[in-house]
Amino acid sequence: MSGWSPIAREYDPLKAGSIDGTDDEPHDRAIFRAMAARYKPNKGVVGDPLLTLFVARLNPVTTEDKLHQVFSKFGDIQRLRLARDIVTGFSKRYAFVEYKEERSVNRAWREADKLVLDQHELFVDMEQERTLKGWVPRRLGGGQGGNKGSGQLRFGGRDRPFQRPIDLINSDRSAGSRRNWDRSETRDRFDRDSHRSRDYGGRDRGGEDRDDRRHRDRSSRRERR
């Protein structure tokens, strides 16, 4: 557990698709495709990856000028690129923002995530294509994020980090204490029931002896006949 981290340090599609990073086999086709993919980072990408942010979940109408206006508040921007379809020119709804200083990228990473821009809540994280070993993009079945409702459990990133692995030693101790508590609770409940029975002394909650009440009911039925 000493090497555990809520954020992935090396990309493994199987672990990234597991809710706690312990799956032994893929649970959906996307993860299987990511495991079989052989992806090489784009060599045409320029700039310092350690100073570059990945901005996703953009509104399709958001422009480069609007992005520059918003993200320049966190520091001086070296380069900004909004990904667009090579044929249609439409926005692919994600962009890369490179800053000139490390403090600027760190500030934007902290403050710009979940910022609402053009009625869309942004997802902002550090670039992973050139910094995370073994990275596979979402279009090949990889990526991080997703949700349980879609059946895609993408964990290990900033948006949905790994759950902490089970601590078997402490869990055994807690289970033992829970069993002891259950036994004591059962014993206390039995003692209370026994004490209640002794207090009533064979009488109901109204204080009347049950045998006397049954005898009176039989007598009343005979009189009616």
For the stretch 9-26, pLDDT in tens is: 788 888 777 766 677 888
pLDDT at position 220 is: 67
pLDDT value, residue 174: 57
Does any domain span residue 122?
yes
Residue 150: its pLDDT value, please? 46
Residue 152 is predicted with a pLDDT of: 47
What is residue 151's predicted lDDT score, i.e. its pLDDT? 47
What was the pLDDT predicted at 184?
55
Please provide residue 143's backbone torsions phi and psi, each rounded to the nearest 5 degrees.
80, 180
Q: Which two tokens stand for residue 113?
A: 């995530």
- Provide the domain count of the chain: 2
Task: Indicate if 53 and 143 belong to the same structural domain.
Answer: yes
- List the CATH number of the domain containing 69: 3.30.70.330
- The reply to whether 82 falls in a domain is yes
Q: What is the pLDDT of residues 113-129, one digit of tens each?
A: 999 999 999 999 998 88
Start-end of H helices in the chain: 13-16, 29-36, 64-71, 102-111, 168-200, 210-224
For residues 107 and 215, membership in a common domain is answered with no
Residue 79 domain boundaries: 13-154
Residue 170, pLDDT score: 65
- The answer for 32, left when phi > 0, alpha when psi is -120 to 50, beta otherwise, is alpha
Domain end among 130, 154, 178: 154
pLDDT of residue 116: 96
Positions in the chain short of pLDDT 50: 149-152, 181, 200, 205
Query: Residue 23, Cα to own-chain centre: how many angstroms?
Result: 16
112 and 174 inside one domain: no
The pLDDT, as a whole number, for residue 11 is 84
